[in-house]
């Protein structure tokens, strides 16, 4: 690939500023999650704009039922592995449950640790108006923040289900208000999870910052999926918003079965595979 002057095109190094200009330019923003070095490396190699070290690692890596047990140390451990692999994408780290909701001071301490110890581009916080002051302060002191509205998994015990959110007018109006508050507070982008497409369209038109949807329809400025879902590794999890781009659970089982068969039947290793 070369530019107009015939020089090799420089890889894009993604920044929060650039993400914001993508909305204005009408360029769709591509985000996927990663929790380890190799997946992050491949995502980065193919030009993913944002790599989210999601606290969904509590579900897909650690095997918990919710994201609540995830700790700041867990996030830092996984984010460091991702960081080692990434050359171009913007890395955003999810702040886990109770690492920022408790006070501005706690948010500064924990988000500051992530920024300082890992060296990523931004953090993500769940929640609406009630995290507005926290977001404003973090942004003011130089910590870029991505917001997250709609289905906020850290609030599962408040809502009781993982159903589509904001289907009623009152909740939809509150979500619109929350989006404006977070935008005014300085978020550089906003994840909208599992809300009606019509509401996501309204939010996207109402705020100057890009919206990144997951189960929020086609009108958002970008899309995100959990990487294990789109690869078909979380095979029992089949919400309609997940498009499976591979069936890796089948591929892995098949490989494991072949290996087991080869070892038991003494076909592995051969002389060629030995020293
Ligand atoms: O934790 C996560 O992976 C997320 C995405 C679903 C947006 O928050």
Distance between CA atoms of 40 and 66, rounded to whole angstroms? 23
- 156 CA → ligand 1 middle, Å: 14
Least confident window among 7-16, 35-44, 117-126, 237-246? 7-16
Average pLDDT in the chain: 96
Report the nearest atom of ligand 1 relative to the CA of 124: 8
| Smallest CA separation from ligand 1 atom 8, residue | 54
What mean pLDDT comes out for the span 7-22?
83
Q: What is the largest CA-CA distance in the chain?
A: 70
Of the candidates 141, 52, 39, the one whose C-alpha atom is nearest the C-alpha of residue 94 is 52
Instruction: Pull the structure tokens for residue 57.
Output: 């690692």
Least confident window among 11-15, 47-51, 258-262? 11-15
What mean pLDDT comes out for the span 229-254?
97
Q: Is residue 140 pLDDT above 90, yes or no?
A: yes
What mean pLDDT comes out for the span 52-65?
98
Residues with CB under 6 A from ligand 1: 33, 52, 54-56, 94, 191, 214, 224, 226
Residue 3 has what pLDDT?
A: 60
For residues 192 and 200, is the Cβ–Cβ distance under 8 A?
A: yes
Q: Is residue 4 pLDDT above 70, yes or no?
A: no
Report the nearest atom of ligand 1 relative to the CA of 226: 3
- 55 CA → ligand 1 middle, Å: 6
Q: In this structure, how many other beta carbons lie within 10 angstroms of the beta carbon of residue 22?
A: 19
Torsion over CA: 150, 245, 41, 86 (sign): negative
For residues 16 and 35, is the Cβ–Cβ distance under 8 A?
A: no
Residue 10 has what pLDDT?
A: 58
- Return the active site residues: 193
pLDDT in tens, 148-173: 999 999 999 999 999 999 999 999 99
- 45 CA → ligand 1 middle, Å: 21
For residues 6 and 199, is the Cβ–Cβ distance under 8 A?
A: no
Q: Is residue 232 pLDDT above 70, yes or no?
A: yes
Instruction: Pull the structure tokens for residue 230.
Output: 């789109």
What mean pLDDT comes out for the span 79-105?
98
CA distances from residue 50 to 34, 77, 88, 104 in whole angstroms, order as listed: 10, 19, 9, 26
Instruction: Pull the structure tokens for residue 159.
Output: 């809502």
Report the nearest atom of ligand 1 relative to the CA of 33: 3
pLDDT in tens, 188-227: 999 999 999 999 999 999 999 999 999 999 999 999 999 9
Residue 266 has what pLDDT?
A: 98
- 10 CA → ligand 1 middle, Å: 30
| Smallest CA separation from ligand 1 atom 2, residue | 54
């Amino acid at each position: 690939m070369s530019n107009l002057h015939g020089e090799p095109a420089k890889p894009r190094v993604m920044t929060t500023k650039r993400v914001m200009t993508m909305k204005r330019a009408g360029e769709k923003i591509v985000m996927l999650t990663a929790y380890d070095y190799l997946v992050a490396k491949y995502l980065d190699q193919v030009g993913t704009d944002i790599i989210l070290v999601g606290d969904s690692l509590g579900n897909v890596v650690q095997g918990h039922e919710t994201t609540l047990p995830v700790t700041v140390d867990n996030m830092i451990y996984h984010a460091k592995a991702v960081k080692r692999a990434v050359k171009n994408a913007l890395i955003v780290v999810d702040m886990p449950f109770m690492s920022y909701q408790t006070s501005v001071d706690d948010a500064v301490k924990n988000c500051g640790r992530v920024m300082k110890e890992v060296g990523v581009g931004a953090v993500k916080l769940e929640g609406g108006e009630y995290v507005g002051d926290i977001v404003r302060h973090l942004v003011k002191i130089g910590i870029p923040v991505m917001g997250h509205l709609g289905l906020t998994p850290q609030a599962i015990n408040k809502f009781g289900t993982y159903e589509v959110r904001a289907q009623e007018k009152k909740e939809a109006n509150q979500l619109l208000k929350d989006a404006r508050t977070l935008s005014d507070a300085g978020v550089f982008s906003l994840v909208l999870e599992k809300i009606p497409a019509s509401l996501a369209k309204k939010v996207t038109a109402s705020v100057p910052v890009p919206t990144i949807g997951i189960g929020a329809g086609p009108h958002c400025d970008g899309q995100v999926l959990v990487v294990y879902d789109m690869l078909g590794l979380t095979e029992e999890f089949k919400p309609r918003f997940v498009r499976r781009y591979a069936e890796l659970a089948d591929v892995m089982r098949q490989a494991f079965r072949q290996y087991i068969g080869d070892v038991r039947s003494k076909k592995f290793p051969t002389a060629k595979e030995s020293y």
